[in-house]
Homo-oligomer: A and B are copies of this chain.
Amino acid sequence: MECIFCKIVNKEVPSEKIAETETVLAFLDINPKAETHILIIPKTHIASIADPGAENVVGDLVKMAKQIAESHNISGYKLLFNVGREGGQMVDHLHLHFLSGKVTELP
């Protein structure tokens, strides 16, 4: 199993955890493109938004984003899915970018 995000879920690779539920994990992006740059992922391996049924988990990812915003008193933020290499997706495990503050570069 070579997926870096699955390894983060399984604690084989360390991460700075922000929040967690039974099905979703949020952790800091190690290469931040904004003042606050968090990745929110399903714990099960789904490669991409383009996968069949992937749309059924995005509600859970967005719900966690809202909870993080509320608990950190963040009123303005961006939620971004990159799809495919040309869309900027660098890791083939579905992830939602949570960006707030100045965005230095589009992930």
Q: Which residues of A are in contact with B by a Cβ distance under 8 Å?
A: 49-50, 54-56, 58-60, 62-63, 65-66, 69, 75-89, 100, 103, 106
Contact among B56, B59, B81 with A78 in the assembled complex (CB-CB below 8 Å): B81
| Docked CA distance A83–B70 (Å) | 12
Number of copies: 2
Known: A58-B62, A77-B83, A77-B87. 5 other contacts (CB 8 A): A55-B63, A55-B66, A58-B59, A78-B81, A79-B80
Least CB distance, A30 to chain B, in whole angstroms: 21
| Docked CA distance A61–B93 (Å) | 20
Least CB distance, A53 to chain B, in whole angstroms: 10
Contact among B49, B63, B79 with A83 in the assembled complex (CB-CB below 8 Å): B79
Least CB distance, A20 to chain B, in whole angstroms: 17
Query: Which residue on chain B has the smallest CB distance to residue A56?
Result: B59
- Asked if A81 meets B79 with Cβ closer than 8 Å, knowing A49-B66, A59-B55, A66-B49, the reply is yes
